[in-house]
Amino acid sequence: MLFRYLGIKMKKLLTALLITASATAMATDAEIKSKLQALGAKNIEVKDSPVKGLKTAVTDQGILYVSENGQYVLQGKMYELTNKGPVDVAGKLLADKVNALKNEMIIYPAKNEKYVVTVFMDITCHYCHILHQQVKEYNDLGITVRYLAFPRAGMNETARQMEAIWTSKDPVFALNEAEKGNLPKELKTPNIVKRHYDLGVQLGVQGTPSIVTSTGELIGGYLKPKDLLAALKESAQ
């Protein structure tokens, strides 16, 4: 009986010690953020991950996975194995962040929509001009084009012009006019544009146009309508 009693007491003591050790080993989100900042990461957002023991960190250098004690960092793709096939966990997270700004996008919808892409664009970007000139061709192929603002030089005069476009009564008309060279005369403080820009940096956007697919895949650079359609078909397989 004595050994049984001691065994029960010892088991309770070990359990308590393990719980205490686990609790002290856990790093706070702020501590994880501080460690990643020391490595040079910026625009850090720490979230829970679908894997027990790991945290997800969305940074300007992409998605990172950090152990809950903050001592280990993983970089790379993580897939959820579903009945429909593997799903890129990071891609879904990024797609959700993009879709959260849907009400702030300038959208050119396809009548027979098959795919949706979100384009980070700059009104001074040559290849953005080319892409916009062909927006009807993308639409005709079933591709809805949604624009977010990404002034490449940061919050400068172009950013203030883009804010005026995105906040106008008819943003589609205002953007079409800007693409013809008729830029807005009124400049506005870039609040919406700053949100778009910060998200682009967080997603790893380094130039324009940058295209985000509905699965969160980032395609850097301009693609002709038929080439984009082919890329979207391949991505969907």
Tell whether 105 and 186 lie within a shared domain: yes
- Residue 84 confidence class, pLDDT cut points 50, 70, 90: confident
Same domain, 75 and 131: no
- Name the pTM for this structure: 0.80
Decide which of 77 and 149 is more confident: 149
Is 131 contained in some domain? yes
Same domain? For 222 and 136 the reply is yes
Q: Looking at the domain assignment, is residue 39 inside a domain?
A: yes
Residue 206 lies in a domain: yes
Number of domains present in the structure of the chain:
2
Q: Assess if residue 197 is contained within a domain.
A: yes
Q: Is residue 154 included in any domain, yes or no?
A: yes
Say yes or no to pLDDT of 21 above 50: no
Q: Are residues 47 and 71 in the same domain?
A: yes
Q: Are residues 82 and 109 in the same domain?
A: no
- Do 119 and 37 lie in one domain? The reply is no
In the structure, what pLDDT confidence band is assigned to residue 95 with cuts at 50, 70 and 90?
very high
Check whether residue 222 and residue 117 sit in a common domain: yes
Report the C-alpha gap between 209 and 211 in whole angstroms. 6
pLDDT confidence of residue 236:
76
Tell me if 102 is assigned to some domain.
yes
- Give the structural domain span for 72: 26-87
> Measured between alpha carbons, how far is 135 from 178 in angstroms, rounded to an integer?
15
pLDDT score recorded for residue 12: 52
**Tens digits of residue pLDDT in 152-207:** 999 999 999 999 999 999 999 999 999 999 999 999 999 999 999 999 988 889 89
Max CA pair span of the chain: 91
Whether the pLDDT of residue 230 is over 70: the answer is yes
Q: Among 87, 110, 140, which residue terminates a domain?
A: 87
pLDDT at position 78 is: 87
Question: Residue 130 above 50 pLDDT?
Answer: yes
80 and 109 inside one domain: no
Is 103 found in the same domain as 74? no
Same domain as 223, residue 206: yes
Per-residue pLDDT at 43 exceeds 90: no
Active site residues: 122, 125, 128, 152
Verify that 45 and 133 share a domain, yes or no: no
* 137 strand-pairing partners: none
